Chain A
Amino acid sequence: MKERLHELEREALAKIDQAGDLKALNEVRVAYLGKKGPITEVLRGMGALPPEERPKLGALANEVREAIQQALEAKQTKLEEEEIERKLAAEAIDVTLPGRPVRLGNAHPLTRVIEEIEDLFIGMGYTIAEGPEVETDYYNFEALNLPKGHPARDMQDSFYITEEILLRTHTSPMQARTMEKHRGRGPVKIICPGKVYRRDTDDATHSHQFTQIEGLVVDRHIRMSDLKGTLREFARKLFGEGRDIRFRPSFFPFTEPSVEVDVSCFRCEGHGCSVCKGTGWIEILGAGMVHPNVLEMAGFDSKTYTGFAFGMGPERIAMLKYGIDDIRHFYQNDLRFLRQFLRV
């Protein structure tokens, strides 16, 4: 009987090993460990044994049962794991197929540039002033020291609606409007972005509608060196640390002294390239100290207050920054153009 038990154990373990799936394994379990299984059968025949043999045989039978049980469990775990793996293998997908697209639009490149510049000046304590695009002759010209008949009015051919009303030719009217609101008391520290209009035929470098950003600071003791420091800070933040700026004398009726401001070329680091036309410098804005007539007309005492103003063209800056070749792109709204400005 002892042999029989050992034989049964060998047999069962072999069948467990052979069982290919859970069903087969269960059949082995039922066959060997069931109530009518061969081990129970052997135990039932124990009555024929001498009493002192019985416990030994009982113990052996339990050992065998235990061994089979363990083998069953081990096999079951293994089969279950295999089952899961098979299932997962069957569920495998091609991860290189495209994902469900998230639809994204983006801001216009001009807005991108304008907001960047706004934020940069907000960081230096400026607020944003906005004003009408359809202006009076007074704010567009006269309050800016450009009386009727002034030769500099030729510099900007304007879209008049009536003799007194026109589309603003620059954002500078906001200088006078803002200063008037301050009723002769500083400080004034503003940035004015907006659309402006001039009688130009649209081509690669001209647009009858374009944008400008004006800056104005008026306070006691504002110096021209403050203008230089402010614009250098601006140029470095917009075009990268290490940029330098230079002033070239110029003329605007509403500033005195007036300068044009160049930034050292960000493409070639000032060595000369196609972007800076070999000069190492790129003209980016016009600026100057606010003309005393402008201060006085807007109600500021030009003996106690001084100020600086500057103006720049977001189109030009965007064209430089992104290498855009034609100003008309900004107003055609070709999606193949617009969607190039998605990235942060």
Chain B
Amino acid sequence: MLVSYRWLSEYVDLTGITAKELAERITKSGIEVERVEALDRGMKGIVIGHVLECEPHPNADKLRKCLVDFGEGEPVQIICGAPNVAKGQNVAVAKVGAVLPGHFKIKRAKLRGEESNGMICSLQELGIETKVVPKAYADGIFVFPSDAPVGADALEWLGLHDEVLELSLTPNRADCLSMIGVAYEVAAILGRAVKLPEAVVKENDEMIRDYISVRVEAPEDNPLYAGRIVKNVRIGPSPLWMQARLMAAGIRPHNNVVDITNYILLEYGQPLHAFDYDRLGSKEIVVRRANEGETIVTLDDVERKLTDNHLVITNGREPVALAGVMGGANSEVRDDTKTVFIEAAYFASPVIRQAVKDHGLRSEASTRFEKGIDPARTKEALERAAALMAEYAGGEVVGGIVEASTWKEEPVVVTVTLERINGVLGTAMSKEEVAAILANLQFPFTEDNGTFTVHVPSRRRDIAIEEDIIEEVARLYGYDHLPATLPVAEAKPGGLTPYQAKRRRVRRYLEGAGLFQAITYSLTSPDKAARFALETAEPIRLALPMSEERSVLRQSLIPHLLEAVSYNRARQVENVALYEIGSVYLSRGENVQPAENERLAGVITGLWHAHLWQGEKKAADFYVTKGVLDGLFDLLGLSDRISYRPAKRADLHPGRTAEIALDGTVIGFVGQLHPAVQKEYDLKETYVFELALSELLNAESEAIRYELIPRFPSVVRDIALVVDDNIEAGALKQAIEEAGKPLLKDVALFDVYQGDRLPAGKKSLAFSLRYYDPERTLTDEEVTTVHERVLAAVEEQFGAVLRG
């Protein structure tokens, strides 16, 4: 809402407070003033001049040579390029020495050999936006009415010695979509009175019922419909002050009748519509829902298809307006209009919102209906419009108002105690302070022993309950006066849940291990949604995605992590190690919330370790990645319950992928990207993993219990076992551990060999076995007995023989 400071001062006395100060006070009290703009934009020396003569420029087709009188001194010659300049006009002239917006100084000049002593200005040149400049002057200079005094300050006549406050209104403050509403707000802040405009309608002795009748067939959508007839209007420009106010508020002036409806819309917040009565085509107005398939050509010359969801104003046969949104072209007020039917109605918000949505049409009128108007002011606005049309369009107001109404004003009464106000706010206000605030708001109230009974005026539809009153009191009391305290309550310690605490440890571990945390988008494209997913379900698709790229919810974190790697590679960052913790979304059927499972995923590519001057260099590989996970399982105390099994999964290298199981249930995987996928994402050798983090964090791990630190020496025996090359090291190790129980404490693989010194199809796996008894020193014989048992077991199970 754009609010002219000078216009506002007609309703509230603003003496002693500048526009800027006012803006600050309004902002502090609850409505944000986004900016205050001085309309004169630093302009100086612009006067109204009279064009005495106007003839073609001798050396230029598009220029005119004008002689302009300023009412004092000698008339001067000015060269003007506007196509509409003509002899006898009163125009805005920037004299030599004048300043236009942007510090543009006017100097004496020669244009194509002819002297020019100033500039005849268009409204745009005076800083007015093209979209609000009246159409007649949009492509040329502005022409003042003939009674504008020559030599006077042109800016004053255009209302530009003014400042405009731009209010940013929250949806609850639709009452401030009108000058009167803003006036009440400002009056409450300043503690001053509101002066309302007066409307005295002089009626002729005809009766409106002879002209028109109204019937509302959809009273829920339209609880109140009122109208008046003004006849013998003369369509022409509205008074300049009115045009200036409309332009300052961002509305383009058209003609006196339309301008008056818009002026009232701004003043009262009540949208009006003016029909050309003679072109209505009947003597009745019927308000109803549109028939399916019905059409209307609106004022913007667009044919619109209507449905049962839209409310229309009809002449009993066909629509003449899309109610509350835009009038029809067929009944539009034109230059030859003689009789006007003014509509002042209260349309309910939902039906208007639907029309705005369906037709993509938002207007000053529809915005106000959508947010809710004050029906108590509807007829007042109608009266004021009729009075102004009589005054400024030379019309005669026909006797009476035509009306169809089911609307009843329901009084809103709210009670609130002083104790509650202070209790909720933490203040120590007195009865008198609260009473003063309510009085400034002009809310009628009574007070009895600290209980306030407030009669909320209909203009404040946002106020219905105790808390609303408390808020009014608080904002006008001033939040700066609110003390700062802390809640008084039993002290309970805060903290993380065990799950949250473990998750943080997991993050810190991965970061310490060299991975950076990524956060990627949850929305993805259909082809990526289920890719790599540990578990898949029906894709969950947005009803109205903004793009196909972000149209379904992800089921794996890996696709976007790979995109991040591509992104980095495209920027010469080749070595990338990322992890992400986030949810995947698995459908459980339509119209139910999906399962949101927390996952941990990672991607590693490029050099894992480089310390080149000492000759160290290690590229990321499967075992680097697996090592990170092994550490994680150690951290969570789950290592003994985790197993890796070779696996084939889509998009992963068939020979370099393992599924990871916790207690035998698969909870994740680790592997190299399939070379085809690497190519697709333009990646080099890349390793990925994804784990069901929630499963890992929810798995109970044993509490730490101290074990005796070894007091006796342990015995270490190294063995190299030759087996078929398809034997898995993990299985062999497990067999050794089983067979060596309980004295065998550690088994560590330290060498894998395959090559010339072994028969084809064989490999050698070397393990270091550590035997230990916490009670005593082991004898060589004891160790040998167990060790033999181990060797026998692996020979039996795997055909493993000691390497000679």
Listed in ascending order, the chain A residues whose CB lies under 8 Å from chain B are 97-98, 100-101, 103-108, 110-111, 115, 118, 121-128, 130, 132-136, 149, 151-152, 154-155, 159-165, 167, 187, 189, 195, 197, 199, 201, 208-209, 217, 219, 221-226, 228-230, 232-233, 246-251, 256-259, 289, 291-292, 306, 330-336, 338-339
A163 to B465, CA, bound (A): 30
Q: Which of B131-139, B167-175, B289-297 contacts A (4 or more CB under 8 A)?
A: B167-175
User: Which B residue's beta carbon lies closest to that of A306?
Assistant: B424
For B594, list chain A residues within 8 Å (CB): 134
- Known pairs A162-B591, A249-B28. 6 more at Cβ < 8 A? A103-B514, A124-B494, A125-B492, A224-B425, A257-B474, A291-B467
Nearest 4 pairs between A and B by C-beta? A225-B426, A223-B426, A249-B30, A103-B514
B492 touches A189 (CB 8 A): yes
A103 touches B485 (CB 8 A): no
For A115, list chain B residues within 8 Å (CB): 504
Given known pairs A225-B483, A334-B568, the reply for A105 and B490 (CB within 8 Å) is no
For A248, list chain B residues within 8 Å (CB): 27-28, 30, 32, 479
A257 touches B467 (CB 8 A): yes
A126 touches B518 (CB 8 A): no
For A132, list chain B residues within 8 Å (CB): 593, 596
User: Which B residue's beta carbon lies closest to that of A136?
Assistant: B593
Could you show 25 A-B contacts with beta carbons less than 8 Å apart? A98-B611, A110-B519, A111-B519, A121-B494, A125-B492, A134-B540, A134-B585, A134-B594, A149-B350, A159-B542, A160-B543, A162-B591, A167-B523, A187-B490, A219-B487, A225-B482, A230-B487, A233-B486, A246-B479, A306-B423, A333-B518, A333-B519, A333-B567, A336-B571, A338-B518
For the residues of B in contact with A, the DSSP-based class is mixed
For A197, list chain B residues within 8 Å (CB): 522-523
Interface check B802, CB cutoff 8 A: no
Interface check B546, CB cutoff 8 A: yes
User: Which A residue's beta carbon lies closest to that of B564?
Assistant: A333
B516 touches A105 (CB 8 A): yes
Interface check B511, CB cutoff 8 A: yes
A124 nearest CB across to chain B (Å): 7
A107 touches B517 (CB 8 A): yes
B493 touches A125 (CB 8 A): yes
B485 touches A226 (CB 8 A): yes
User: Which A residue's beta carbon lies closest to that of B27?
Assistant: A248
Given known pairs A160-B544, A249-B475, the reply for A98 and B613 (CB within 8 Å) is yes
Binary per-residue interface labels of chain B (343-385) against chain A in the complex, 1 for a CB within 8 Å, 0 otherwise: 0000001100100000000000000001110000000000000
A335 to B573, CA, bound (A): 7
A251 touches B173 (CB 8 A): yes
A338 touches B517 (CB 8 A): yes
For B196, list chain A residues within 8 Å (CB): none
For A209, list chain B residues within 8 Å (CB): 521-523
Among residues 557 to 578 in chain B, which have CB atoms less than 8 Å away from a CB atom of chain A? Answer: 561, 564, 567-568, 571, 573, 576-578
User: Which B residue's beta carbon lies closest to that of A220?
Assistant: B489
A226 touches B424 (CB 8 A): no
Q: Which of B81-89, B218-226, B495-503, B733-741 contacts A (4 or more CB under 8 A)?
A: B495-503
Among residues 16 to 36 in chain B, which have CB atoms less than 8 Å away from a CB atom of chain A? Answer: 27-32
| Contact partner, B427, options A208, A225, A249, A291, Cβ 8 Å | A225
B614 touches A228 (CB 8 A): no
A256 touches B484 (CB 8 A): no
For B44, list chain A residues within 8 Å (CB): none
B484 touches A225 (CB 8 A): yes
Interface check B38, CB cutoff 8 A: no
A223 touches B485 (CB 8 A): yes
For B29, list chain A residues within 8 Å (CB): 249
A124 to B370, CA, bound (A): 43
User: Which B residue's beta carbon lies closest to that of A261?
Assistant: B479
B543 touches A195 (CB 8 A): no
| Contact partner, B568, options A107, A163, A226, A335, Cβ 8 Å | A335
A272 to B579, CA, bound (A): 40
B472 nearest CB across to chain A (Å): 9
A162 to B371, CA, bound (A): 26
For A331, list chain B residues within 8 Å (CB): 519-521
For A162, list chain B residues within 8 Å (CB): 543, 590-591
Interface check B340, CB cutoff 8 A: no
User: Which A residue's beta carbon lies closest to that of B582?
Assistant: A195
User: Which B residue's beta carbon lies closest to that of A191?
Assistant: B494
For A110, list chain B residues within 8 Å (CB): 519
A200 to B780, CA, bound (A): 75
**Interface size bucket, B side?**
35 or more
For A161, list chain B residues within 8 Å (CB): 540-543
For B425, list chain A residues within 8 Å (CB): 223-225
Interface check B195, CB cutoff 8 A: no
For A151, list chain B residues within 8 Å (CB): 171, 174, 349, 370-372
A224 touches B519 (CB 8 A): no
User: Which A residue's beta carbon lies closest to that of B486?
Assistant: A229
B491 nearest CB across to chain A (Å): 6
For B513, list chain A residues within 8 Å (CB): 103, 105
Interface check B326, CB cutoff 8 A: no
B520 touches A335 (CB 8 A): no
B523 touches A128 (CB 8 A): no
B467 touches A289 (CB 8 A): yes
B467 touches A105 (CB 8 A): no
For B495, list chain A residues within 8 Å (CB): 122, 127
Given known pairs A248-B32, A334-B571, A335-B568, the reply for A292 and B488 (CB within 8 Å) is no
A17 to B269, CA, bound (A): 115
Interface check B609, CB cutoff 8 A: yes
| Contact partner, A226, options B170, B371, B480, B486, Cβ 8 Å | B486
Given known pairs A111-B517, A331-B520, A332-B564, the reply for A103 and B487 (CB within 8 Å) is no
A224 touches B424 (CB 8 A): yes
A247 to B510, CA, bound (A): 41
Given known pairs A161-B541, A247-B479, the reply for A226 and B470 (CB within 8 Å) is no
Most chain B beta-carbon neighbours within 10 Å: one of A132, A291, A339: A132
A139 nearest CB across to chain B (Å): 10
For B302, list chain A residues within 8 Å (CB): none
A134 touches B427 (CB 8 A): no
Most chain A beta-carbon neighbours within 10 Å: one of B370, B494, B512, B568: B494
B485 touches A228 (CB 8 A): yes
A145 nearest CB across to chain B (Å): 11
A233 to B487, CA, bound (A): 12
B695 nearest CB across to chain A (Å): 17
Given known pairs A134-B594, A136-B593, A224-B426, the reply for A249 and B479 (CB within 8 Å) is yes
A98 to B483, CA, bound (A): 57
B564 touches A106 (CB 8 A): no
A128 touches B467 (CB 8 A): no
B371 touches A250 (CB 8 A): no
A5 to B355, CA, bound (A): 131
B485 nearest CB across to chain A (Å): 4
B561 nearest CB across to chain A (Å): 8
For B174, list chain A residues within 8 Å (CB): 151
For A136, list chain B residues within 8 Å (CB): 593
User: Which B residue's beta carbon lies closest to that of A110?
Assistant: B519
Given known pairs A248-B479, A251-B172, the reply for A333 and B520 (CB within 8 Å) is yes
Interface check B616, CB cutoff 8 A: yes
Interface check B339, CB cutoff 8 A: no
A225 touches B371 (CB 8 A): no
B468 touches A105 (CB 8 A): no
User: Which B residue's beta carbon lies closest to that of A129?
Assistant: B497
A163 to B467, CA, bound (A): 31
User: Which A residue's beta carbon lies closest to that of B492?
Assistant: A125
B494 touches A164 (CB 8 A): no
Given known pairs A152-B171, A251-B172, A292-B467, the reply for A135 and B593 (CB within 8 Å) is yes
Among residues 569 to 615 in chain B, which have CB atoms less than 8 Å away from a CB atom of chain A? Answer: 571, 573, 576-579, 582-583, 585, 590-594, 596, 608-611, 613-614
For B542, list chain A residues within 8 Å (CB): 159-161, 167
A164 touches B591 (CB 8 A): yes
A108 touches B494 (CB 8 A): no
| Contact partner, B489, options A149, A219, A246, A251, Cβ 8 Å | A219
